[in-house]
Amino acid sequence: MAQQAYMTETDDNGGSGPERRGDRLRRLIGRLASGWRGDPRIWRRGLVVAALALLLSLVMLLHSRIPNRFGNLGSLTETFLPWLGLFIPVFVLLALVRRSASALIALVLPAVVWLNLFGGLLSDKTGGGDLTVATHNVNADNPDPSGTARDVAASGADVVALEELTASAVPVYEKAMAATYKYHSVQGTVGLWSKYPLSAVKPVDIKLGWTRAMRATAATPQGKVAFYVAHLPSVRVKLQAGFTARQRDKSADALGEAIADEPLGRVILLGDLNGTMNDRSLNAVTSQMRSTQGAAGDGFGFSWPASFPMARIDQILVRGVEPVTSWTLPQTGSDHLPIAARVKLTGS
């Protein structure tokens, strides 16, 4: 009886559980608001935060104007451009602590710029499509190439590109993927596995002195499609030299020239380009092809490093083909995540 009386008294004094928590939240908001009202200093405080917010907006908005002359700073910024959005909630917190209306208003600008650049990546785009493709840098030091091959084959992709193949691991991948893919070709350190016949297979010279790119025609049920597989040179961040990518940039230009000369109208590029779609140094390729990530991605699709992906440097690009959806696959024994895409060939 005493317990019942206690419960009734608690309910009569304002409820319990979610209702009481809601009351506490409303009181907290009320106290915060009362601290702002009637205080003319809210416009004078936080000017440094407001200035930083405007600077952040300019960096995101004018990232292509940041020069590459000093350690390829522009390309480095563009590689990690989406992460600049993390500064926005930090600045919001600082503005609230400083009780600065000026800073809060200034923060609207970087929020709008970031959403304009990357907001389209946050929505899931699904649909039909005729062909599923995948690409994976399998890592030359992969401790389990057989397991990696089985994982990629189980993705359901019709055509798969692998990069960073070693001579000793190639037979392992060939054996593990033979049951799923009847046709394949390995050129240097890259390879293409397909459920459809391949022809006109040849290496592509990307100015390295050894083969890290190839081209093949796949005879799909919807007609011929030219496939390119490429593994562009790695980039490095060095203390004195900064973000060094000269060889990568040279190879990207050569790859762009090869794709520009492609006679087939439908082209799909699969590979590790060691750069993001925002990186201006890949313009020779990206200016003539469409990214499945931006057009049909579900989220940012970061692929490297696999343990904590921070950048999308593995790419699926198309020309004369309509992207439908794009996604990352589960982690394998590699330091990259595999990525896949569904594309539409008919009517494209």
Highest mean pLDDT among 42-56, 74-88, 124-138, 173-187: 173-187
Calpha distance 289→345 (Å, rounded): 15
Helices (H) and strands (E) in the chain, counts: 12, 14
Same domain, 132 and 115: no
Domain boundary among 101, 121, 141: 121
Domain total in the chain:
2
Q: Which residue has the tokens 């931006």?
A: 294
Q: Residue 170 belongs to a domain with what CATH number?
A: 3.60.10.10
- Asked whether the predicted pLDDT for residue 272 surpasses 60, the reply is yes
In this structure, the answer to whether residues 104 and 146 fall within a common structural domain is: no
Cβ-contact 175, 138 below 8 angstroms: no
Give the tens place of pLDDT for each residue, 149-180. 999 999 999 999 999 999 999 999 999 999 99
pTM value surpassing 0.75: yes
Picking from 105, 121, 137, the residue at the C-terminal end of a domain is: 121
| Residues 202-241: tens digit of each pLDDT | 999 999 999 999 999 999 999 999 999 999 998 866 544 4
State how far the Cα of 259 lies from the Cα of 265, in Å rounded to an integer.
11
Instruction: Give the end of a domain, one of 121, 144, 161.
Output: 121
DSSP 208: S
DSSP letters spanning 160-189:
EEEES--TTTHHHHHHHHTTT-SEEEEETT
Q: What is residue 241's three-state secondary structure?
A: coil
- DSSP at 232: P
The DSSP code sequence of 249-314 is HHHHHHHHHHHHT--SS-EEEEEE-SS-TT-GGGHHHHTSSEEHHHHHBSS----BSTTS--B--E
Same domain flag for 114 and 145: no
Q: Residues 76, 131: one domain? A: no
Whole-number pLDDT of residue 75: 85
Q: Which residue type occupies 249?
A: D
Question: What is the pLDDT at residue 167?
Answer: 96
**Residues linked to residue 214 through DSSP beta bridges, in sequence order:** 203, 229
Same domain, 156 and 269: yes
